[in-house]
Amino acid sequence: MSVAGATLIALGVALFAREADISAAASRFAPPAQESPTPGESTSPSPAAEGYPVPERIWIDKLKVDALIQPVGPGKRVGLNAVEWSAPNNKNVGWHDYSGRLGEGKNIVLNGHNNIYGAVFRKLYTLKPGDEIRLGAGDRQVVYRVEEVKLLRERDQPLEVRIANAQYIQAMNDDRLTLVSCWPESSNTHRVIVIARPVAQN
């Protein structure tokens, strides 16, 4: 399956990204004339994108999170026009490989499980505005401050609601960090969306 050919991209069975964003991601990360990646695996970043590092580690001190970040790509097909966006099946956090990089001034989208595979984002919903999140790559760190925490109903919702929920994970030229997981801790009826902004560095 071609990544660029999918109409919608989902995280789990829920959040979607626009076809144009995925087409751009495919051309940015996938070498031409190469087979599509195995579901759930990311393609290698192109040399042209090397000016900004992919985030490698996340720290959320309030939640005692200290986790590696790994690139993730699309997973299995859902219906005729969508595929799921994969989260790492381990204790790592996933970086959506079409999204921003450190210092690029774009939306960096990270996901993680809340009640399986190490449940790295189990307590994500407890974050409050003002809480800090740090991302690192090599010897560089960027501090983000939480602005909003949203709980969005997903399970059994019509497609238009699920697409509207997905606005937060779109590729955008907006310097922000978006964290995504499920809620509540014992289920996955909702999505948790945390939006954070970089703190000015002196």
Is pLDDT of 6 > 60?
Answer: no
Is pLDDT of 112 > 80?
Answer: yes
pLDDT the model gives residue 42:
52
Mean pLDDT, range 179-198, rounded to an integer? 94
Stronger pLDDT, 86 or 12, i.e. the higher one: 86
Mean pLDDT, range 135-160, rounded to an integer? 93
pLDDT the model gives residue 44:
47
Q: Which of 22-31, 36-45, 70-79 has the lowest mean pLDDT?
A: 22-31
Read off the pLDDT band of 80 (50, 70, 90): low
8-42+53-198 folds as Sortase; Chain: A; (2.40.260)
Cis ω before 158 (30° cut-off from 0): no
pTM: 0.78
pLDDT the model gives residue 161:
85
DSSP letter, residue 161: H
Q: How many CB atoms lie within 10 A of CB 102?
A: 19
Q: Which residue do the tokens 């937060």 mark? A: 168
Q: What does the block give as tokens for 108?
A: 């960096």
pLDDT the model gives residue 33:
28
Strands (E), the chain: 8-11, 15-17, 57-60, 65-72, 74-78, 82-85, 93-96, 107-111, 132-137, 140-153, 176-183, 190-198
- Say how far apart CA 95 and CA 11 lie, in whole Å: 12
Mean pLDDT, range 128-156, rounded to an integer? 96
Is pLDDT of 142 > 90?
Answer: yes
Mean pLDDT, range 47-59, rounded to an integer? 81
Cis ω before 184 (30° cut-off from 0): yes
Q: What does the block give as tokens for 135?
A: 């991302």
- Say how far apart CA 182 and CA 2 lie, in whole Å: 27
Mean pLDDT for all residues in the chain: 78
Instruction: Report the alpha-carbon angle 33-43-57, nearest 5.
Output: 165
List pLDDT tens digits, range 128-137: 999 999 999 9
- Say how far apart CA 19 and CA 62 lie, in whole Å: 36
Q: Which residue do the tokens 């499980």 mark? A: 113
